[in-house]
Amino acid sequence: MANSRVLYWFRTDLRLHDSPALAAALDLKPECLYCVWTWDPHYVYRARVGPNRFQFLLDCQNDLSASLTKLNPKQKLLLLREAPQTLFPKLFKAWRISHLVFEKDTDAYAKDRDETVTRLAREAGVEIVVRMGRTLYDPDELVKKCKGKPTMSVTMVQNAGKQIGAIPRPTPAPTSLPDPGDTPLDFEQEQPAQQPDINDIHRNDTEKSYSSGISGPGSDFAPPTLQELGLKPATTPHRGGETIALRMLDSIIANEDYTATFEKPKTAPTAFEPQATTLLSPHLHFGSLGVREFYWRVQDVVSAYGRRASQPPTSLTGQLLFRDMYFGAQATLGYSFAQTYNNSHARFIPWHLPSHISPDSRLITGGYAVDSPTAERWFQRWKHGRTGFPWIDALMRQLRLEGWIHHLGRHAVASFLTRGGCYVDWERGAEVFEEWLIDHETASNAGNWQWLACVAFYSMFYRVYSPVAFPQKWDKEGKFVRRYVPELKEYPVKYIYEPWKAPLADQRKAGCLVMGEEGGTEGEYATYPRPMFDFAERREVCLKAMKNAYKVGLYGNDPRVLDGSWRKL
């Protein structure tokens, strides 16, 4: 369209390839194109974002900015540090914008934000162009085809998908870009609020707050550094950016056997360097990899491979359908999807016994739940990798250090925290994942936690992961534990998953004594905590409690849950 001045708003799509929204922006044949990222306070302040995910985001922004510059030396990613809801009306005017273009986002907060921005754009006479590109199917379309019901299985997604039509092939990356226009910023700036508490543990107290103005120091619109944001340095070895993502995808696709015969349950959660699955999840989260690019590159290998190729749901394309399933469910349920309260599809389970509940009003808990202080203590030990079960501790330490763990590792720690050990609320665990995962995706995180806690999607609560027998199946020698719990490095194979059973002489010989709750040192020895409970005993208690909760059969939107009267049951 002649004379169009387009503001392209990058959010969940930090890439040039496979971007229907960017293609739509360029179809407008703009006279000028502004490529903008707004530093949404919701992300900076309200969400729990640890330094590892922040670093991944900054990597993606820097890589994207460099790619934009390669296509046109005048282009780069313009990073603006203000909420879009207050920033855009000023930009529309100052930069004389005619069109605002972005990729559709069906997350609950994003929907609210985008509705506001759309209204503001209309008021300013700016045309809005929105395109879906984040998932294989538009989650809103899945909802429609499922008649408003949440997608609770991959089969539901497949059936709805058949009605929607073929998954589109990816759009190619642009080969050139128009110039941006002038970028005056001489309007009144909103100063972002001060730091919230939520990220305090990540903040480096000696550093200043993250912002010093709308576009950062020097007004060069550049992505900041973690140091400038006042965050502790990242510890993850996994780096972000479209360039890396496409390279990773290339090397996966080059291995046709791996790509075509991938079966998730057969991949080892104990594998590291290299891990057993693709590790493309953080790239899908930030959109540094297009999901349709991923899907079609894999599908083309599968189609050529013939009958020995694996099939959904366990195949690689099946994994992407799980992702769509959780996005579809979230699009139906909105904010309540990420919690039990008011969630019509999440079973209500009184995970631990609040101290004000008297022992004779325990119909609903069956009398099996632990008291709150114990639950809190177990939760903290789980979070910090000090449960005394080396398999669980190794996974939690890998998660904190690197920001990614294998899917079955996530199964193990989530089941252990909830219905297979501690009987602590899944929402507490989901919060830790939100903070530490580099691939944290609200829909996938909440949905998978519900699955593992057996509150939705899955109900076989009697299938519990043993923290000893399960890892032994994959890694008899305990290489994974030795890597992430280095104090146990010298333990004999026989005791690597149950160090508390090692005779004292063996403990001394291995240089690590099993004692206390904290770990640390004792004289010349390192120490590793005793297990925080007898797992076999806890498994029985949890099974009885889950059976009872299923029998009572409350859901998150039951009036007795909403008004708290479940406590009197």
Q: How far is the CB of 293 from ligand FAD (least distance, A)?
A: 13
Residue whose C-alpha is closest to residue 435's, from 467, 408, 396:
396
Show Cβ contacts of residue 305 under 8 Å, excluding neighbours closer than 6 positions.
256, 260, 261
Q: How far apart are CA 485 and CA 437, in angstroms?
A: 19
Return the sign of the alpha-carbon dihedral for residues 507, 508, 511, 517: positive
Q: How far apart are CA 207 and CA 529, in angstroms?
A: 35
Q: How far is the CB of 470 from ligand FAD (least distance, A)?
A: 14
DSSP for 64-106, please give it.
Answer: HHHHHHHH-TT---EEE-S-HHHHHHHHHHHTT--EEEEE---
Choose between 27 and 250: whose C-beta lies nearer to ligand FAD: 250
If binding is defined by CB under 6 A, does position 47 make contact with ligand FAD?
A: no
Choose between 47 and 185: whose C-beta lies nearer to ligand FAD: 47
Residue whose C-alpha is closest to residue 97's, from 123, 116, 72, 115:
123
Please give the residues from 166 up to 195 whose contact with ligand FAD meets the rule CB under 6 A.
none
- Give the number of residues in contact with ligand FAD, rule: CB under 6 A: 28
Choose between 78 and 301: whose C-beta lies nearer to ligand FAD: 301
**Displacement of CA 559 from its chain's centroid (Å):** 31
Q: How far apart are CA 434 and CA 379, in angstroms?
A: 15
- The side-by-side arrangement of strands in the sheet containing 512-514 is 512-514, 525-528, 520-522
Choose between 313 and 499: whose C-beta lies nearer to ligand FAD: 313
Choose between 353 and 446: whose C-beta lies nearer to ligand FAD: 446
Scanning the structure block, which residue is given the tokens 């993250």?
A: 210
Q: How far is the CB of 390 from ligand FAD (least distance, A)?
A: 20
Q: How far is the CB of 413 from ligand FAD (least distance, A)?
A: 8
Kindly indicate which of the ranges 164-172, 407-415, 457-465, 466-474 contains the residues binding ligand FAD, using the contact rule CB under 6 A.
407-415
Q: How far is the CB of 198 from ligand FAD (least distance, A)?
A: 17
If binding is defined by CB under 6 A, does position 80 make contact with ligand FAD?
A: no
Choose between 192 and 328: whose C-beta lies nearer to ligand FAD: 328
If binding is defined by CB under 6 A, does position 278 make contact with ligand FAD?
A: yes
If binding is defined by CB under 6 A, does position 279 make contact with ligand FAD?
A: yes
Choose between 458 and 500: whose C-beta lies nearer to ligand FAD: 458
Please give the residues from 280 up to 299 whose contact with ligand FAD meets the rule CB under 6 A.
280-281, 284-285
Show Cβ contacts of residue 537 under 8 Å, excluding neighbours closer than 6 positions.
none
Backbone region of residue 172 per phi and psi (left: phi > 0; alpha: psi in -120 to 50; beta: other values): beta
Q: How far apart are CA 15 and CA 107, in angstroms?
A: 20
Choose between 108 and 320: whose C-beta lies nearer to ligand FAD: 320
Please give the residues from 197 up to 256 whose contact with ligand FAD meets the rule CB under 6 A.
none
Choose between 117 and 325: whose C-beta lies nearer to ligand FAD: 325
If binding is defined by CB under 6 A, does position 425 make contact with ligand FAD?
A: no
Please give the residues from 309 up to 348 whose contact with ligand FAD meets the rule CB under 6 A.
319-320, 322-323, 326
Choose between 157 and 414: whose C-beta lies nearer to ligand FAD: 414
Q: How far apart are CA 220 and CA 448, in angstroms?
A: 40
Please give the residues from 432 up to 471 whose contact with ligand FAD meets the rule CB under 6 A.
433, 437, 439-441, 444-445, 448-449, 452
Let me know: does 106 contact 143? Beta carbons within 8 Å.
no
Q: How far is the CB of 317 from ligand FAD (least distance, A)?
A: 9
Alpha helices by DSSP H, listed for 10-153, are 20-27, 41, 51-71, 84-94, 108-123, 139-145
Q: How far apart are CA 151 and CA 179, in angstroms?
A: 43
Q: Can you give the binding site for ligand FAD, defined by CB under 6 A?
A: 264, 277-281, 284-285, 319-320, 322-323, 326, 406-407, 410-411, 414, 433, 437, 439-441, 444-445, 448-449, 452
